[in-house]
Structure 1
Amino acid sequence: MKFNYSSLYSKIIEKYGSQYSFAKAIGLSEKLIALKLNGKIGWEQKEIAKAIEILEINSSEIPRYFFNYGVQKN
C-alpha cells in the first residue's frame, strides 16, 4: 500500500519554505524526510505526532496529510 504525501509536502513548503528547514525543525535529516515523502520508508507515530504539532495540522485533517492512498503503478 502506497500513500500520497503531496498534500503534506505542500504544507511543509507553506510553513517552512523547504524540506531542509522542516527536517531541522522536526529533528530528522533532509534525506530521511525525502525518503518518507517519496514513500520509500514509513513514518513513525512519534514523527507523525511531531509533524502535526509543528505544521499546526488540525486533527480532522490528519488523514489528508498522512493516510491519503496513492494510485498504484503497475
Structure 2
Amino acid sequence: MSFDYNKLRGRIVEIFSTQSNFASAMGWSERTLSLKMNGARSWKQTDICKAIQLLQLTIEDIPAYFFTPKVQRIELEHKESA
C-alpha cells in the first residue's frame, strides 16, 4: 500500500521552509528523506516519533500525516465515469 505524504510535505515547508532543512534536523541526507517521501523506504517508528516532535504535531496527528492511503488515479477515473 502506498501512502500520501502531501499533508506532511506541507507541514515540513510550514515549519522548516524546505525539505532539505527538515532532512538535516532529522539527521538524514536529502536522498533519505526523498526515498521516504516517495514510498521507496519505510518510515520507522522512531523516525515518526522524532518527526512529530520536530513538526510540533501530536500523537493523534500521526494517522493523517503518515498513514493516509494514496488514492490511485484509476480509482478516481472509474468513480467519475460511474
TM range, normalised to the smaller chain? over 0.9
Q: What runs of 5+ residues in structure 1 fail to find an aligned partner? A: none
- Aligned-residue sequence identity (percent) comes to 42
Matches within 5 A, 1:57-68: 57-68=57-68
Q: Report the secondary structure of 1:63's partner residue.
A: helix
TM-score relative to the length of structure 1:
0.92
Q: What runs of 5+ residues in structure 2 fail to find an aligned partner? A: 75-82
Deviation of the 1:35 alpha carbon: 1.0
Question: In structure 1, what is the equivalent of residue 16 of structure 2?
Answer: 16
Which of the pair has more CA radius of gyration? Answer: 2
Question: In structure 1, what is the equivalent of residue 38 of structure 2?
Answer: 38
Q: How many pairs does the alignment contain?
A: 74
Contact 1:3 1:66 in 2 (8 A): yes
Question: In structure 2, what is the equivalent of residue 3 of structure 1?
Answer: 3
Deviation of the 1:73 alpha carbon: 5.1
CA RMSD in angstroms comes to 1.1
- Measured in 2, the distance between the counterparts of 1:73 and 1:39 equals 17
- Measured in 2, the distance between the counterparts of 1:28 and 1:73 equals 31
Deviation of the 1:38 alpha carbon: 1.1
Contact 1:3 1:39 in 2 (8 A): yes
Deviation of the 1:45 alpha carbon: 0.9
Deviation of the 1:32 alpha carbon: 0.7
TM-score relative to the length of structure 2:
0.84
